[in-house]
Chain A
């Protein structure tokens, strides 16, 4: 299996350890919520979030992409991954929340490369970010597939 848009087939099974913690800020939750046109008060008003039983502002359902894509960057920037970022297309995405992400959380992500498979002249790479707090509480599992397009794809 040599022709996979230059992607290293040995990436599968690789694990990138958690890097620096990402601190979830109130203003980032407000900014991200506005950017996805979310209007629920629990994203903007601390009292509204507390009335729902949360300690602070609640992140929108796809907020964890910020943490996951930081983890993905380790793979894409890895000099032996062979991934040409300009040829990357996002193919699928999933978020499983073990508990809501709220402002004040300090999150880290361990990145697992679950699968690399040839697709046409390109390669489909499936990664999984296990997101937890710095204290070790599981927060979210995100799964993402990217297609690295081959020539003519």
Chain B
């Protein structure tokens, strides 16, 4: 699929997906990223510091959510600017299989014809609550 800048319109939907998250996914992300904060794998520790339980790394959610954009544009290096605020934690239950589901949808938020870029605004929720706010990815459109 090839995206053309002059065929994009502000507000246009780029799609949506659900990302299942298990405790094993958090352990895998901890190892891959080097972020071994125990709130992401140790329920006792998480509760001691006042959390409802083990929560996903904000950076896991941010990293997984942008795949919608990467797949839409067809080139991971097209993402030249990506930012978000982390507002609510994603609680991942201790169950066999997925302990949470993250819902991601994206829409074109702005088009910059001079720079050949488009901004995709992501809506990212878990259990019906927004977990990322102002999640915006600027992509280079060739």
- Interface on A for B, CB 8 Å cutoff? 28, 31-32, 34-40, 42-43, 52, 54, 58-62, 65-66, 69-70, 86-87, 89-97, 100, 143
Cβ of B76 and Cβ of A36 under 8 Å apart? no
Binds A, one of B4-12, B59-67, B108-116, B123-131: B59-67
The total of Cβ contacts below 8 Å across the A-B interface reads: 105
| Bound complex: CA A21 to CA B60 (Å) | 24
Contact B19 A37 (CB under 8 A): yes
Given contacts A61-B70, A62-B59, is CB(A43)–CB(B33) below 8 Å?
no
SS class, residues of chain A in contact with chain B: mixed
Known A36-B29, A89-B86, A92-B83; further 14 A-B contacts with Cβ < 8 A: A35-B29, A35-B33, A36-B64, A37-B64, A37-B67, A39-B67, A40-B70, A42-B76, A60-B70, A66-B33, A91-B85, A92-B84, A93-B62, A96-B81
* Residue from B71, B82, B86 within 8 A of A62 (CB atoms): B82
> Which chain A residues lie closer than 8 Å to B77 at the CB level?
42, 52, 54, 58, 97, 100
Q: Is the CB of A65 within 8 A of B76?
A: no
Tell me, yes or no, whether B107 is within 8 Å of chain A by CB.
Answer: no
Whether B34 contacts A36 by the Cβ 8 Å rule is: no
A92 to B75, CA, bound (A): 25
